């Protein structure tokens, strides 16, 4: 069976998985004392996109998800004292994660 999907279908599926991952990110398992939390399955939709459509679509979907998480969790940057700490927090907590 040949699995070829149109780019529109893949894009819509990626958008739905980002939305699902964002919703699952609001269900914490453990809250850290200085901001941040550990979630159980919030990255599962991103992994599913990567498995179904390849690494390129998975990385792009994860990057979009990280930008949305950055916008929703910008209050966590209040703990950073210097500009370098803010850049490090953004890179390590959102973009590279």
Please tell me the predicted confidence (pLDDT) of residue 54: 93
* Residues 54 and 29 sit within 8 Å (Cβ to Cβ): no
In the chain, where the domains are located: 7-95
One digit per residue, the tens of pLDDT, for the chain of length 97 reads: 456 778 999 999 999 999 999 999 889 898 888 667 788 898 999 999 999 999 999 999 999 998 898 888 777 777 788 888 888 888 887 777 6
CB 18 within 8 A of CB 62: no
The structure's pTM equals 0.79
β-pair type (28-31, 37-39): antiparallel
């Amino acid at each position: 069976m040949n699995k070829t999907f149109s780019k529109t279908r893949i894009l819509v599926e990626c958008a739905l998985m980002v939305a699902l991952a964002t919703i699952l990110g609001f269900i914490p398992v453990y809250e850290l004392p200085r901001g941040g939390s550990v979630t159980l399955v919030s990255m599962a939709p991103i992994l599913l996109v990567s498995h179904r459509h390849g690494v390129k679509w998975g990385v792009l979907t994860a990057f979009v998800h990280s930008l949305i998480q950055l916008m929703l969790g910008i209050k966590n940057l209040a703990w950073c004292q210097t500009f370098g700490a803010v850049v490090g927090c953004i890179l390590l907590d959102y973009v590279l994660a």
